[in-house]
Each structure stands twice: as C-alpha cells, then as structure tokens.
Amino acid sequence: MIRVLHGEDEYARSEALAKIRASAGPAEVRDPNTTVFEGRSIKLAEVIGAAQVVPFMADRRVVIVYGILSRMQQRDKSLGAEWRNLNEALSVLPATTELVFVEDTTLRDNGLALKSVGPSASVQEYRRKQRGELEIWIRDRFVFHGASATRDAVARVAWLAGADARLMDQEIKKLALYAGDREVVQRDVDLMVTDARETSIFAAVDAVLEHRPAVAMKLLYSLLSSGSSVQNILSMLARQVRLLILTVELRQQGVAQEEIGKRIGLTNRFALDKMLRQSGSFGIGQLASIHRRLLAADLAIKRGAMDERLAVEILVGELSAA
C-alpha cells in the first residue's frame, strides 16, 4: 500500500508512522523489514528495489521516504529526472509492502506530488490544530495519561506550549505525574510548564540582532501561527530588549550575576544564564535603537497608520537585515 503523511504537525505524523511501522510484525523482526530513505540523493530505483523485497519472517515490509514529494511540488531541479516516472514505478509494488512518503509541509491536493503517487494512495494531512480542537486534544491527552484538568488549566497549557504538540504532550505527562490523583489546575501549569513563546522570543531576538533574516521571519510566522497576536509579539520583543539593556548596564557596573537576576526579575536559573550569555553579544546603542524601532512600530499600529501584521513583518525584516 502507498501512504502519504504530510503537514506541519510533526507529533501526529510521527505517531501515525509508528503505527505503520508496527504493522511489519513483532519488534524482533520489525527493523530488518524496515528501510528508510532520507537526504538529498535518494534514487527512485533504490526505493522501488527495497519495496519489492519480500518480508522476512514478518507480515509486511515498510519503506519510508522523507522529503521527496515536497521537492517534487517545489519542482526542485536537483531532483533526478527519474522521479518524473514515479506513478509508473509504483505500479509494480507487491501487496506486502507499505511504502510511506513523509513530508513536513502541506502538499496541494491537485499538485504534481500527490498526482504522482496515484489515486489509490492513502493520503493523510496532519495540520496544526486550531484553538478549539487544540483544547479538545489537550483534554484527551490528560485522560490518556490517566489525569484530568480544569478548563482554565487546559487553556493555559495551550497558551504556554504554543503549537508544538510534542512539547504539549511532554508537559501534560509531567503535570499528570505532579498532580497525582487530584485534578490539574491552572496554578500547577504556571508552576510546571515553561513558556514556549518566551523561548521562541529569545531565538527571535538572537536572529534579529545577529542579522539572520530568514530565521527571524520563520520564527515570527511560527509565533503568529501558534496564536500569538502582533501586539503580544511586539510587547514580548520589547520586554526582552529592555531586559538585555538592563543586564548590559548592570554588568558594566560590576553587579554580581545573582544580584542581576534579582534586579531584573529573573529568578529562573536557566532564563538568567541565557540572558547573561545573550547580553555579552549586544551593545547598549544597538539595543536602544531596536527599542526605539519597536516603539515606532507600536505607535504606527495603534494610530492606524499601518496594518499590524505588515508592520511587524517589515520591522523584523529590516532589523534582521540591517
């Protein structure tokens, strides 16, 4: 059977793939009957050759191919001409083979890639969950891990963990263990769960100040797609820049690290260590200039002089490319 697993939800894709791999039979014969192709130099003949091998002491053989269909959709010129005949090549696969194409992007329904695998292929899209379905999924994962949570706790997990389903599942499992027999409440989440958006903001500030526009824009779109508003992104960026300015000034005054943490309000050791490391790369003048640009963008949005999404895209683009 030919399968296509595509979409941005890596965790859901990996769970589906694990179930397919399990179909090869017991654990002791699963690995010998699984072949994985990944990288830039995958040959169609090698994929088909692996798919035609009869399973060894197992029910099925699983052949997994990463990234080929996305490259076909993008018409990647480095992809060998042989892949143009994919549909024809797939017609010779034995019924005992599960050929699985795994893509971390969404493929177009009527695009070249999905047409190439043929109409009989099983295609499953794993898109990022929206707010309502995300909270339903979180409640279900609490039940899966033998726990329950209040509505406020569920909403808080969704807010702090962002769109990363794998991270959310790890945090839910941690909360279930922490709460034990009682219901998980919001204060448990605030105590135990790291704010993934704050982590992304650290990375976004790095990308902006280190002149990596592609990374900065990718992080911006990730924040927007995970539910952060433009105003929240601007305020979080401004907060990080202010903390960096304070940290640089305090270090120049010779203030001890622990005292710096107390003065700027960072009591978490990990967050403080990262702030101290970041501050060593930035100058006060550069940070002050960025802070002024953030203020100007905020005013332009509030006065209606510019669309908010366009304003933040231009701001991040210009700062990171400066």
Mean residue pLDDT of the chain comes to: 85
Distances (CA, A) of 102 to 10, 185, 270: 10, 37, 35
What's the pLDDT tens digit per position in 17-44? 999 988 888 878 888 889 999 887 888 9
Pairing of strands 97-103, 34-37: unpaired
In this predicted structure, the answer to whether residue 214 has a pLDDT above a threshold of 90 is: no
Amino acid 185: pLDDT: 93
Q: Hey, what CATH class is 196-321 in?
A: mainly alpha
Amino acid 270: pLDDT: 65
Do domains 2-125 and 131-192 share one topology? The answer is no
- With a pLDDT cut of 90, the percent of the chain lying above it is 23
What's the pLDDT tens digit per position in 74-85? 888 888 788 888
- With a pLDDT cut of 70, the percent of the chain lying above it is 94
* Fold entry, domain 131-192: Helicase, Ruva Protein; domain 3 (1.10.8)
Burial of 60 (0-12, 13-18, 19+ CB in 10 A): buried
Query: Which range in 140-144, 189-193, 232-236 is most confidently predicted, on average pLDDT?
Result: 140-144
Could you tell me which of 282, 291, 285, 320 has the C-alpha nearest to residue 204? 320
Sequence-ordered alpha helix ranges (H) in 150-212: 151-161, 165-179, 186-192, 196-209
Question: d(Cα 199, Cα 128) in Å, to the nearest integer?
Answer: 19
Could you tell me which of 114, 100, 117, 225 has the C-alpha nearest to residue 162? 225
Amino acid 175: pLDDT: 93
What's the pLDDT tens digit per position in 220-265? 887 777 667 788 788 878 888 888 899 999 988 988 888 888 888 8
Q: Hey, what CATH class is 2-125 in?
A: alpha beta
Tokens representing 300 are 């332009």
Strands (E), the chain: 2-6, 34-37, 61-66, 97-103, 122-125
Rg (CA), the chain: 24
In this predicted structure, the answer to whether residue 152 has a pLDDT above a threshold of 70 is: yes
What's the pLDDT tens digit per position in 39-95? 878 889 999 999 999 888 888 899 999 989 988 988 888 887 888 888 888 888 898
In this predicted structure, the answer to whether residue 100 has a pLDDT above a threshold of 90 is: yes
Domain positions in the chain are 2-125, 131-192, 196-321
Query: Which range in 1-5, 132-136, 297-301, 310-314 is most confidently predicted, on average pLDDT?
Result: 1-5
In this predicted structure, the answer to whether residue 278 has a pLDDT above a threshold of 80 is: no
Amino acid 66: pLDDT: 92
Those residues with Cβ within 8 angstroms of residue 14's Cβ, 6 or more apart along the chain or in another chain: 166
pTM value is: 0.58
Among the residue ranges 123-127, 198-202, 271-275, the one predicted with the least confidence is 198-202
Amino acid 162: pLDDT: 63
Tokens representing 290 are 């960025």
